[in-house]
A and B are shown apart, each in its own frame.
Chain A
Amino acid sequence: MKYYLRFLWIAFFCGAICILGFAVKNDGFFASDVICLFGMDEIGYFTQYLPQITYWFFPLLFFQAFFGSYIYRHFCTASIYFFSRYTKRTRWLFKEILRLFLFCCLYLFVMLISGLVVCSLVSKVKIDASIWKMFCYYMVIYSLYLFVVTLGINLLSIVFNSNIGFIVVEGINLFFIAAFAIAGNLFAPEGVILEQYEWIIKINPFYYLIFSMRNSNNDYLISMLLFMGIAALLLWCSFFVVNKHNFIESNQETGGM
C-alpha cells in the first residue's frame, strides 16, 4: 500500500504542471473553471486540439501505466504462494477492486487540489456556487473512466500478459481519442458536426469525458451512467476471470527467481 501511495506525488506534480499555463495567462477566475479545465473543457473535435488532448491525457496515462499491474501483480511471481493460502478469491478481488477505485479517486483529488493550490498562489481564485456540482461531476466521471481503463489493463494482463494488456487497452483508448479529434475535420465543415453524422461522435466513449460537450445536468448524468455500465461489465468479467484462473505457468514478469 505504501508503495502505491508514493505515486500521489506524481498526481500533485501533474496537477500543478497542467494548470500552470492557464493560471499564468489569466488574472482571477472561478474555482469551478479550474475543475472544468481538468475536465478538458477547452477541447473540441478537431485535430488542432490534439496537443491539448495529449497534454491533459498524460496524467491519466501515468496512472494507468502505474496501476495497470495493481491487481495483476498478485498473478505474477508470488501467485502460487498467495492463492494457495487464500481461497476466497471473490472476496479478495472485491477488496482489491475497491482499493483500486479509491486510488483512482485519490489520484484525481490530489491532482485537482494541487491545481487549485497553484492557481491560488499565482492568481486570485473565487469560490463560486457551482464548484461542488462540478467537483462531483469531475470526480465521478473521471474516476470511473480511470477505473475502467486501469481495470481493463489488469484484466487483460491476467488473461494474456502485461504487454498485451497495456497495448490493447491503450490502443483502444488512443483509437477513440484519435476518432474524436478527427471527427470535426471530416464531418463538421461549418464548425458543427452535421446532424446525420452526430451518431459517429456519440458512440465514442471519449466524447462523454469532454466537459465542453456536456451542456446540461442530463448530459453529465449520461456520462456517469455510461462509465458505470462499462465498469459493471468489467467487474463481472473480473470475477469470472479471477475465479477460473489456473496457475499453470510461473510468470516471471516482475522478477522471478
Chain B
Amino acid sequence: MLNLVVSHVSKQLKGKTILSDVNLDLKSGNVYGFVGENGSGKTMLFRAISGLMDVSEGEIILNGKILHKDMKVLPNLGIIIENAGLYPELTGLENLKLLAKLNHKISEPEIRETIKRVGLDPEDRRTFRKYSLGMKQRIVFAQAIMEKPDILLLDEPTNALDEKGVNAIREIIKEEKQRGALILIASHNKEDIQMLSDEIYYVKNGMVRRWEETVCS
C-alpha cells in the first residue's frame, strides 16, 4: 500500500509562481484526476511529483521517504508528459527495449505484449518520427505501463487519439487501477476525468483545490 503525500509544495521559476502551496494525500488503488486550463500548472505538478524537477518549498513524501533526500525520483514510476516523445530515430519496439534495459525489470516478450495491448504492432519497422500522432501517444502510453509501475503519472493520456484509442486507454487505466497502481491523470477532457477518477482536483494559477470545493464556492 502506497501513500504519497504532497505537503505545502511551491515552485517559483524566473520570478513566477508555478505551483502554490499544493497539498495532496494520495493512496494506491485510486485514480486522481486533475483538470485545468493550459498553463495552469498540471504538467509542472506532475514533474515535481516525479522528482524530475526540484521544488522551491515543501516536501513530497512516499511512505515516509522524502523525495530528493531519501530518493532522487519516485521509484517504480510510469509517466507520460504532454508533448514529450521518444527517440525519433528508433522504432517503437526499439524505444521500449532501450528504456526497459535501464532497469531490467521486463523481458522482450513482455514489451511486445504491452505494445499489442495499446493496439500497435511490435513488428512495425517505422521509426517513431514517422508514427502518426495517435500512434506516438499509444507507444508513449505503452512505455509508461510496460513495467507495471506502482505509480502512474499520466498527463493528457488520450491526446490525439480516436474514439477507439480513447476507449482502449480508458480500459487499460481501469485495469491498472485494479492492479493497485496509484494513478494521477491530468486532462482537458472532463469526460475522461469524470469517468475514471475517484477524486477530482482543479488546478488554476498553480493552486490545487478539490473539485467539490471549487464548485461549492
Contact of A246 among B54, B81, B137, B160 (CB under 8 A): B54
Q: Are B50 and A84 in contact (CB under 8 A)?
A: yes
**Chain A interface: which of B24-32, B86-94, B192-200?**
B86-94
Q: Are A77 and B52 in contact (CB under 8 A)?
A: no
Bound CA–CA A81/B47 (angstroms):
11
- The count of chain B contact residues (Cβ–Cβ below 8 Å) is 37
Q: Does B85 contact A (CB under 8 A)?
A: yes
Q: Are A78 and B102 in contact (CB under 8 A)?
A: no
Q: Are B72 and A87 in contact (CB under 8 A)?
A: yes
Which residues on the A side are within 8 Å of B168 (C-beta)? none
Q: Does A256 contact B (CB under 8 A)?
A: yes
Bound CA–CA A238/B140 (angstroms):
29
Q: Are B84 and A85 in contact (CB under 8 A)?
A: no
Which residues on the B side are within 8 Å of A82 (C-beta)? 99, 102
**Chain B interface: which of A44-52, A58-66, A106-114, A247-255?**
A247-255
Q: Does B97 contact A (CB under 8 A)?
A: no
Q: Does B172 contact A (CB under 8 A)?
A: no
Q: Are A84 and B85 in contact (CB under 8 A)?
A: no
Q: Are A78 and B103 in contact (CB under 8 A)?
A: no
Q: Are A77 and B77 in contact (CB under 8 A)?
A: no
Chain B interface, DSSP helix/strand/loop, else mixed: loop
Q: Which residues A171-213 have CB closer than 8 A to chain B?
A: none
Q: Are A78 and B13 in contact (CB under 8 A)?
A: no
Which residues on the B side are within 8 Å of A256 (C-beta)? 83-85
Q: Are A73 and B87 in contact (CB under 8 A)?
A: yes
Q: Are B53 and A248 in contact (CB under 8 A)?
A: yes
How far does the Cβ of B170 sit from chain A's closest Cβ, in whole Å?
20
Contact with B along A226-254 (1 / 0, CB 8 A): 00000000000000000000111010101
Chain A interface, DSSP helix/strand/loop, else mixed: loop
Q: Are A83 and B79 in contact (CB under 8 A)?
A: no
Bound CA–CA A87/B51 (angstroms):
10
Q: A80-B52, A82-B99 are in contact. Are A247 and B47 (CB under 8 A)?
A: yes
Q: Are B95 and A85 in contact (CB under 8 A)?
A: no
Which residues on the B side are within 8 Å of A77 (C-beta)? 84-88
Q: Does A79 contact B (CB under 8 A)?
A: yes
Bound CA–CA A86/B98 (angstroms):
12
Q: Does B113 contact A (CB under 8 A)?
A: no
B81 nearest CB neighbor, chain A only:
A80
Which residues on the A side are within 8 Å of B44 (C-beta)? 248
Q: Does A3 contact B (CB under 8 A)?
A: yes
Which residues on the A side are within 8 Å of B81 (C-beta)? 80, 250
How far does the Cβ of B127 sit from chain A's closest Cβ, in whole Å?
9
Which residues on the A side are within 8 Å of B77 (C-beta)? 84-85
A88 nearest CB neighbor, chain B only:
B72
Q: A80-B79, A84-B73 are in contact. Are A246 and B86 (CB under 8 A)?
A: no
Q: Are A83 and B73 in contact (CB under 8 A)?
A: yes
Q: Are B53 and A257 in contact (CB under 8 A)?
A: no
Q: Does B34 contact A (CB under 8 A)?
A: no
Contact with A along B37-81 (1 / 0, CB 8 A): 000000010010011111000000000000000011110010101
Q: Are A80 and B84 in contact (CB under 8 A)?
A: yes
Q: Are B95 and A78 in contact (CB under 8 A)?
A: yes
Bound CA–CA A87/B133 (angstroms):
29
Bound CA–CA A80/B82 (angstroms):
11
Q: Are B84 and A246 in contact (CB under 8 A)?
A: no
Q: Which of B87, B103, B144 has the most CB of A within 10 A?
A: B87
Which residues on the B side are within 8 Å of A254 (C-beta)? 88
Which residues on the B side are within 8 Å of A81 (C-beta)? 79, 84, 86, 99, 140, 143-144
Bound CA–CA A252/B86 (angstroms):
10
Q: Are B50 and A78 in contact (CB under 8 A)?
A: no
Contact of B83 among A73, A246, A252 (CB under 8 A): A252
How far does the Cβ of B196 sit from chain A's closest Cβ, in whole Å?
22
Bound CA–CA A151/B188 (angstroms):
41
Q: B-contacting residues of A (Cβ < 8 Å)?
A: 3, 73, 77-87, 246-248, 250, 252, 254-257
- Extra contacts, 9 of them, besides A78-B86, A84-B50 (Cβ < 8 A), are A77-B85, A77-B88, A78-B95, A80-B50, A81-B144, A84-B73, A84-B79, A85-B77, A87-B72
Which 6 pairs from chain A and chain B are nearest by CB? A255-B88, A77-B85, A247-B52, A87-B72, A250-B83, A256-B85
